[in-house]
Structure 1
Amino acid sequence: MGTVGINFGPINSGQGFDVTSTVNQILAAEQAIEKPWKTQLTNLQAQDTALSKFGTDLSTLATALQNLTDFNGVFASKQGSSSNPDVLALSSASNLAVAGSHTIVVNHLAQTSSQYSDKITDATSTLSGSLTLTIGGNNQTLNISGQTLSQLAASINAASMGVSASIVTDTTGSRLSLVSKTSGAAGEISLSASLTNDVTGTSIGFQQGMQGMDASLNVDGLNTTSASNTVTGLIPGVTFQLLSVSPNPNQPVQVQITNNNSVIEQTFNAFVTAYNAVVNDITTQEGKDSNGNPQPLYGDPTLAMIQNQLSQGLLSGSSSGAIKSLGQLGITVDQHGQMNLNVSTLDSALNQNFTDVMGFLQNSNSFGQTFTSMLGGLSSTSTKGAIYLALQQNSSQESMLNKNISDQEARIADDRTRLTNELNTANQILQSLPGQLNMVDQLYSAITGYKSGQ
């Protein structure tokens, strides 16, 4: 600890000294002890920021790869086309669909059963009687007393009788329309009505609008039916819409189910972009900042581990049939470690060796599986990940440094209080000396008769 001088002028001046400044000088040496701790803490926190960025970018890379290695991911995605979209339109192809061609002939479309009443000129007229509906063997009867058409429609809908009731009005009058909620033959409406117009006394009858009928079609030589024009299950994983009858049975619709190469290629591109983001992180940490100072992870073993693992990971994994390397998928790495993707080469590989490309990413011990395992070993979320462990180690050191700083600040605060009290007391004594000397002088004069001031 250095020496601190106190300047208070002549002893009889009463000037005293600056207590706050003196205390600060004395404690400066104690505060200097904290400087290397705070510097180290700042460096560790900068490392945490860099490590967290690595963790985020590696997580993005792992997610992009997972989309390629997941059995239900993009390799399972399918797309379809119809040779005659006026007759049949493809709605969707799920991951259960299998690439291939299918032949479909539409003999007739599905129809939903409907009934409608005789017209009523005055829609405000009330009706009385009963209405019995039979759908799929289920009978329901509704008793009606003094209800208008709109009130009757509301009652039918509220009774959940298996139909949707509405009022159709044109220039000639209004009708009650009943449409089955079940399409196809199973939804055929059987109706028995005994309705009377309370105003005119006439009976109100019903006529069939549409007969409930299943669609009839031939799929790959198999005659089959569908209760709906939206057909699911006849081709595994494929949903299609029947729009009209085939104009000629000898000219069937060709449905083509293919692998969705465009989605796969987009996912490969996302993987390449994510990989290059991690490479950029490495390049940044191997350099210096704008002030010429080394980056936080410069020379850090975790940085070297990430770099080595990524490089080795590109050569890992066993081959899958005709696919033995990333280069065959159009992926190359330049002299700066950046990945590049040739989409044309990838598209060719998918068209010629789709199963082998998928196996290169999804088979046991494949590139995709070993690279995924490697990324897990670098993770910031796995308790065994290199970045997680590095952050934990930093956190432990930061806790120790923060405790040292906190303890030192507490000691400084105690010393400040003690020194301030002691120096305030000393200062008061110095400031009181002129008065004490004057009293001594007066006593001396009273005893000796000698004026010390003369």
Structure 2
Amino acid sequence: MATVGLNFGSATSGTGFDVSTTVSSILAIQGAIETPWKNQLATLQAQDTVLTTLGTDLSTLTTSIQSLTDITGVLASKQGSSSNTNVVALASADATATAGSHTVVVNSLATTASEYSDLVTDSSAVLSGSITIAGTTITIGSSNNTLASLAASINAADLGVNASVITDSTGSRLSLVSSTGGSAGQSLISGISGSLTYTTTSNTTPATLDLNAGQTGVNASLTVDGVNISSATNTITGAIPGVTFQALATGSSQIAIANDNSSVESAVSSFVTAYNAVIKDINGQEGNDATGAAEPLYGSPTLATVQSQLQSALSGGGGSGSITSIAQLGLSVNNDGTLTLNNATLDTTLNTSYSDVAGFLQNSGSFGQTVSSALNNLGTQAPDGLVYLAQQQNTSEEASLNASITKEDAVLATQKISLTNELNTANQILQSIPSQLNEINEIYSAVTGYNNQNG
């Protein structure tokens, strides 16, 4: 162990020595025991940074493959179009829709039944009487004796009609529109009865307020691929499995449903990007950094396992129909282990073998399921993800090292106090030597009569 010398010049000079510097020098030597601990801690923390990045990239890769292996994911999405958007507008095509073409002929549109009251030209009109809707009678009193308050009262009763007041330059009317479209709503509107009257400030004689037939409620009539369809609304669901469309006018249109190749190609591209990020994480730990020191996870068994299992998964899994390898999806492996995607090849395969592509990614034991299974054991998921276990091991070692450093710091702190006290005492003694010598000389002179200053 190194030693520290006290530099105070001549013992009789009275200058003493620098206590603070001396204590620091002594503690620096004793504190060197912490150096390997701190170096190891720094190494582990550098590994943590790489493991965190790797874990994040593995999570992204897991998400990207899930969008392809999920039976309700991008491979289930569909695109649709209408050849005559003035007649039929396509609303949606879900995962249950199948690719194909359908002929829709709209014979007539659905309408919603309605009634309206006679015109009331005086805004001071006060209503009286009652109105019966769906078997419920609403009696008019002081709280609902205007067109507006009567409409609010009807709506609050929730009787299957929507009441409102229509006002124009000639006056106001009570409007009653069925909440149910088509012929079903017509029977409700037809059953409305009432005995309504009103008076005004200028005419106190009650005047009758009759209800008049408005629009007749009828179902839409159309054919889909030759099958007669009747619908209470102009939004048609179920006539084509998985497809919802809206009838806009009479006439005919072709509805085409196609697989959504662009979404699949985007998902495969995302998978390639995510896969390459993981491989680059691994490749980046091979060799030394710019300073010549080994990368934090150089030679790590964790990285070796991740790399090995991903490479095995790329060539693993069973085929589906005509698809037996990732090359048919336009994927190729580069010399550094990363992937390249040929979009043209993938698009051609999707156009010719879409269902086989889906099977290659989604069937039990398929390529897609093999990659998913491999990723389930590699990431940061507790309790047995490979990266998670490596992080836990580092955390444990770091806790032990930090505990040792903290303990040693406490020992050094105690020693610092003790050394400072001891050396302060020694320093005081050294600084007092000249005065002690003077005292001795004075005593000697007094006893002998010898004056040392005069020789």
* TM-score, normalized by the shorter chain, greater than 0.5: yes
Partner of 1:141: 138
CA distance in 2, matches of 1:311, 1:358: 21
1:184 aligns with 2:182: yes
Equivalent of residue 231 in structure 1, options 232, 236, 249: 236
Does structure 2 conserve the Cα–Cα contact (< 8 Å) formed by 1:124 and 1:149? no
Partner of 2:62, secondary structure, is helix
Stretches of structure 2 lacking an aligned partner (at least 5 in a row): none
1:135-194 deviations in whole A, cap 9, x for unaligned?
xxx434332457232232233223333222222222222211111222222223132122
CA distance in 2, matches of 1:436, 1:275: 82
Partner of 1:322: 322
CA distance in 2, matches of 1:320, 1:265: 19
Over 3 Å counting, the alpha-carbon distance change for 1:286 and 1:140 in structure 2 is farther
1:263-302 correspondence runs (5 A): 263-302=263-302
Does structure 1 conserve the Cα–Cα contact (< 8 Å) formed by 2:127 and 2:140? no
AA matched with 1:195: L
Partner of 1:218: 223
Sequence identity percentage: 55
CA distance in 1, matches of 2:127, 2:137: 19
Does structure 2 conserve the Cα–Cα contact (< 8 Å) formed by 1:282 and 1:303? yes
How far did 1:344 drift?
A: 1.9
Does structure 1 conserve the Cα–Cα contact (< 8 Å) formed by 2:138 and 2:154? no
CA distance in 2, matches of 1:396, 1:158: 66
- Please report the RMSD computed on the Cα atoms of aligned residues, expressed in angstroms: 2.1
AA matched with 2:246: Q
Which segment is superposed worse, 158-167 or 418-427?
158-167
Which segment is superposed worse, 279-288 or 206-215?
279-288
CA distance in 2, matches of 1:408, 1:171: 94
Does structure 1 conserve the Cα–Cα contact (< 8 Å) formed by 2:130 and 2:137? no
1:105 aligns with 2:105: yes
Partner of 1:193, secondary structure, is strand
Does structure 2 conserve the Cα–Cα contact (< 8 Å) formed by 1:331 and 1:339? yes
Partner of 1:114: 114
How far did 1:287 drift?
A: 4.6
CA distance in 2, matches of 1:359, 1:295: 41
Which segment is superposed worse, 65-74 or 350-359?
350-359
Partner of 1:203: 208
Partner of 2:436: 436
Does structure 2 conserve the Cα–Cα contact (< 8 Å) formed by 1:130 and 1:144? no
Partner of 1:194: 195
1:159 aligns with 2:154: no
Partner of 2:284, secondary structure, is helix
Does structure 2 conserve the Cα–Cα contact (< 8 Å) formed by 1:164 and 1:179? yes
Stretches of structure 1 lacking an aligned partner (at least 5 in a row): 247-251
Does structure 2 conserve the Cα–Cα contact (< 8 Å) formed by 1:140 and 1:161? no
CA distance in 2, matches of 1:140, 1:288: 89
How far did 1:424 drift?
A: 0.9
AA matched with 2:391: L
Partner of 1:25: 25
How far did 1:49 drift?
A: 0.6
CA distance in 2, matches of 1:291, 1:4: 33
1:235-260 deviations in whole A, cap 9, x for unaligned?
222211111223xxxxx533222222
Which segment is superposed worse, 124-133 or 311-320?
124-133
Partner of 2:57: 57
Does structure 2 conserve the Cα–Cα contact (< 8 Å) formed by 1:123 and 1:149? no
1:186-220 deviations in whole A, cap 9, x for unaligned?
22313212222212332111111112222223333
How far did 1:374 drift?
A: 1.3
Residue-pair matches, total: 446
Which segment is superposed worse, 376-385 or 17-26?
376-385
How far did 1:436 drift?
A: 2.9
AA matched with 1:218: T
CA distance in 2, matches of 1:166, 1:310: 66
1:419-430 correspondence runs (5 A): 419-430=419-430
Does structure 1 conserve the Cα–Cα contact (< 8 Å) formed by 2:115 and 2:212? yes
Does structure 2 conserve the Cα–Cα contact (< 8 Å) formed by 1:103 and 1:219? yes
Partner of 2:116, secondary structure, is strand
Does structure 2 conserve the Cα–Cα contact (< 8 Å) formed by 1:67 and 1:74? yes
How far did 1:6 drift?
A: 1.1
AA matched with 1:194: S
